[in-house]
Amino acid sequence: MIVVVMGVSGSGKSTVGQMLAERLGCGFSDADSFHSAANIEKMRRGEALNDADRAPWLAAIREAIVARRVAGRHHVFACSALRSRYRDVLGEHDGDVVFVYLKGAPEVIGERLASRSGHFFDPALLQSQFNTLEEPHDALIIDIRESPEAIVDTLLHKLAACPGGAPLTSAGSARVQ
């Protein structure tokens, strides 16, 4: 199973994704590491990415998803995946790619971004992300007001119910084979 934890910047994708991968006992990749230097610099300058900027980035993530699937390995990716067509590229219609949408109000996420340091994303771009966002209808939708630990607990139970999901152990963690 491939899990893509998605949402706007500051929604908690990396934190939740890393914790989920740890609990599942599988690998984790942050989509930020797939961005070109030009994309990162553009975002640092406060410029929103366009579809042309995102195309090679999405293709690289898709390649990584396919590589994990071919190797038979479960994996968690943190990726904004804001538009439906981006999710199509990543594998929304693949049976073993599950999207998890971390949903939150702009005010809550704005507060998080304001307190975050050391990240290239300019908080001024948050509104452009909400403008780009096409909320998914087939994803597991999680309210970000819960703690990351509570979100991961909820996700583990929801993922266990998915076709091909990882079975839960008696301790409430998933066992990935």
Tell me the Ramachandran region of residue 46: left when phi exceeds 0, alpha when psi lies from -120 to 50, beta otherwise. Answer: left
Q: Distance between CA atoms of 136 and 43, rounded to whole angstroms?
A: 24
- pTM for this prediction: 0.85
Q: Tens of pLDDT along 37-53?
A: 999 888 778 787 889 99
Closest CA to 10 of 126, 161, 118: 126
Confidence of residue 119 (pLDDT cuts 50, 70, 90): very low
- Judge whether residue 109 has pLDDT over 50: yes
Q: Tens of pLDDT along 136-172?
A: 988 999 999 999 999 999 999 999 888 766 554 434 4
Instruction: Please name the residue ranges forming H helices in 46-171.
Output: 51-70, 84-90, 106-115, 126-132, 148-160
Q: Distance between CA atoms of 20 and 18, rounded to whole angstroms?
A: 5
Closest CA to 17 of 142, 120, 165: 142
